[in-house]
Amino acid sequence: MKKNIKIILSLLAFVPVLFFSGCNEPKSVPYLVNLEIWGVFDSSDVFVEAIAEYKKVNPYVGEIKYKKFSPDTYKTELIDALASGQGPDIFLVQNTWLPSFESKLEASPKGLIGLDKIKENFVDVVQSDFVSEDKVYALPLSVDSMALYYNKSLFNSAGITAPPKTWAEFNDAATKLTKLDAFGSITQSGAAMGTAYNINRSTDILGLLMLQNGAKMTDDNNKEAKINEGVVGSDGSVVRAGEVALGYYAQFAKKDSPLYTWNNDMHYSLDAFSEGNLAMMLNYSWQIDTIKNKNSKLNFDIAPVPQVSDIDPVSYANYWGWGVSKNKVGTKDGLTGRDLPNEARVHESWQFLKFLTMKNSGVIRLYNAFSGNFKDFPINYDPAAKYIEKTNRPAARRDLIDKQKDDPKLGVFAKGNLIAKNWYQKNPDSIEKIFADAIDYVSKGGGRPYDALSLASNRITEIMSR
């Protein structure tokens, strides 16, 4: 008799039951998925409330764990874990990683997050960076874009009343703000421009200048670099936009240039700015606290990045998004203890990311991974809004940018996100090194920008064609 009861109970555990009232056949199958999330910059406290709110409404998720890693070791640890099948369910990817991480990521299930919702919710660069062949591979909570940091005290002393809006104005300000001693040594720098290795994010600045000048970074198939090829200008003339950008950037580190304001002997740009000896630098919002921690009394402000043209303004994006691992070995059903199909783990990971990052209207729709049945749950909580409030970071979502654009600290970056761009990089670490080598070659007088970019273009093409 006892044996018969056990058999009946074990069978009942796998009988499909209707969970969501009001839904027709097929019936919804109960299951429970535990999720593990890997991040870099945020502590677990940032996500505690969002996780708790989500678990209140989703009956298919159990424990959601968040683990923080060091930026210095994160990528290596992540790749190793994913290769072993024991990695996280959800993890952070940098916005240039998709080409090299696409084989490790599972796109959002069809119908769960459409391309129209990406366009509606997020700034344009998100689609460019995290959507491939109309498949969504990652979603951000925050986007960061480049802006101009400037020392107000040095500007006041030089009689400059406002930060530069164009590169012509930037040149004029950099010249006025640079001071040399009797031996020609720089005692005060107008701008951190021209070198590769003692300027924070120097290669991003070069990328910004290339995009602003209209460079086509790759061919249409992303197999060949085009950074050294000519583009047709508005007047019909052909301009080598990449060469113009590199030549312009490098001249700030050449002693015979009228724009000489920086060299390889200068302190690292973040240190020089914090010390009050550097008037202008280009950087992202996350360096605000770095500078304040180094010098709490520094009188500085932040302005939009200078532009080549106000008709088609461009900033440069550097940020992270959340993706879902393609495969994970040994995911168990929290109800039965049996192996759970990978599709269910992926489905619940993406349902959580949709809740975490996208706008809701007071209702979230949750689907059963097996039957496709759904139910709408009322909710009075916006995780992305809470996230930027807690972390004080610029928003990725358009509706939150609209609320953030007048913020005295983050407004410049939030509005910059609307015009931010990036470009396809199959191996971003290698390409960063190639750009740095090109800058170093030209700034040290090794040769022409054309020669440096020809070599850089060949090296990048070799990487991208593999």
pLDDT at 26: 59
Residues 161 and 221 in one domain: yes
Residue 466's contacts (CB-CB under 8 Å, 6 or more residues apart) are: 426
pLDDT at 19: 37
Dihedral-angle region of residue 372 (phi above 0 means left; psi in -120 to 50 means alpha; beta otherwise): left
Average pLDDT, the chain: 93
Contact 162, 169 (CB under 8 A): no
Tell me if 33 is assigned to some domain: yes
pLDDT at 18 over 50: no
Tell me if 140 is assigned to some domain: yes
Per-residue pLDDT of 180-233, as tens digits, reads 999 999 999 999 999 999 999 999 999 999 999 999 999 999 999 999 988 776
Residues 299 and 242 in one domain: yes
Determine the Cα–Cα distance for residues 165 and 172; give it in Å rounded to an integer.
Answer: 11
Residues 127 and 165 in one domain: no
Q: Which domain holds residue 74?
A: 23-144+319-391
Per-residue pLDDT of 326-374, as tens digits, reads 999 989 999 999 999 999 999 999 999 999 999 999 999 999 999 999 9
Residues 295 and 161 in one domain: yes
Tell me if 460 is assigned to some domain: yes
Residues 306 and 451 in one domain: yes
Tell me if 237 is assigned to some domain: yes
Tell me if 405 is assigned to some domain: no
In the block, tokens 């979230």 appear at: 364
Q: How many domains does the chain have?
A: 2
pLDDT at 29: 86
CATH number of the domain within which 37 lies: 3.40.190.10
Instruction: Characterize 130-158 residue by residue with b for buried, 16 or more Cβ atoms within 10 angstroms of its Cβ, and e for exposed.
Output: bbeeebbbbbbbbbbbbbbbbbeebbeeb
Per-residue pLDDT of 253-305, as tens digits, reads 999 999 999 999 999 999 999 999 999 999 999 999 999 999 999 999 999 99
Contact 457, 241 (CB under 8 A): no
Residues 36 and 100 in one domain: yes
Tell me if 383 is assigned to some domain: yes
pLDDT at 7 over 50: no
Tell me if 112 is assigned to some domain: yes
Nearest to 20 by CA among 366, 450, 255: 366
Stronger pLDDT, 7 or 453, i.e. the higher one: 453
| Domain final residue, candidates 340, 369, 391 | 391
Per-residue pLDDT of 381-423, as tens digits, reads 999 999 999 999 999 999 999 999 999 999 999 999 999 999 9
Per-residue pLDDT of 294-316, as tens digits, reads 999 999 999 999 999 889 999 99
Neighbour-count burial of 433, counting CB atoms closer than 10 A to its CB (0-12 exposed, 13-18 middle, 19+ buried): middle
Residues 163 and 128 in one domain: no
Residues 201 and 172 in one domain: yes
